[in-house]
Amino acid sequence: MERYRISRMQEKPLEIEKIEKAPGTTVLRLHGPLLLGNFFPLQTMVRADNSSLLIIDVSDMPYIDSAGIGCLVGAHVSRDNSGRKMVLVGANDRLLTSLKVTKVEQLFTFAPNAEQAVAQSGGG
């Protein structure tokens, strides 16, 4: 008899790696899906961050749900209202499609990697 373990995406944890890139720049690297059940730690970290440039690396984020999109939109609005920048790096086609379908992709600045994000934000 063969057994298959089916793992639902919602059960996978989100790990957040915080990297101080340079003075005034913070990178939050997400590992795992950004979902209703796990976005609160990211929201807390974004709110606590006072850097002039926040880079959110989503290259290892396989999936996002509507609550995760709401978390990213909230992060963008909060930083924009306080005159600070946020850049999403490493966005895959699935994430870009989700942002387009929900009509929020125009809110975000995208870059292929953290170095390019710093350069296009005037930090390099």
Q: Which helix (DSSP H) or strand (DSSP E) does residue 120 occupy?
A: helix 114-120
Q: What is the pLDDT of residue 84?
A: 97
Taking the C-alpha atoms of 36, 40, 42 and 47 in order, what is their torsion angle to the nearest 10 degrees? 130
Return d(Cα 15, Cα 31) in angstroms, integer: 5
For 3-30, how does the pLDDT look when each residue is reduced to its tens digit (9 = 90+)? 444 445 555 789 999 998 888 999 999 9
For 42-95, how does the pLDDT look when each residue is reduced to its tens digit (9 = 90+)? 999 999 999 999 999 999 999 999 999 999 999 999 999 999 999 999 999 999
| Domain covering 11-118 assigned CATH 3.30.750.24 in the classification | yes
Q: What is the pLDDT of residue 11?
A: 59
CB 43 within 8 A of CB 68: no
| Residue 60, strand partner residues | 31
Helices 66-81, 40-48: inter-axial angle, 10-degree rounding: 10
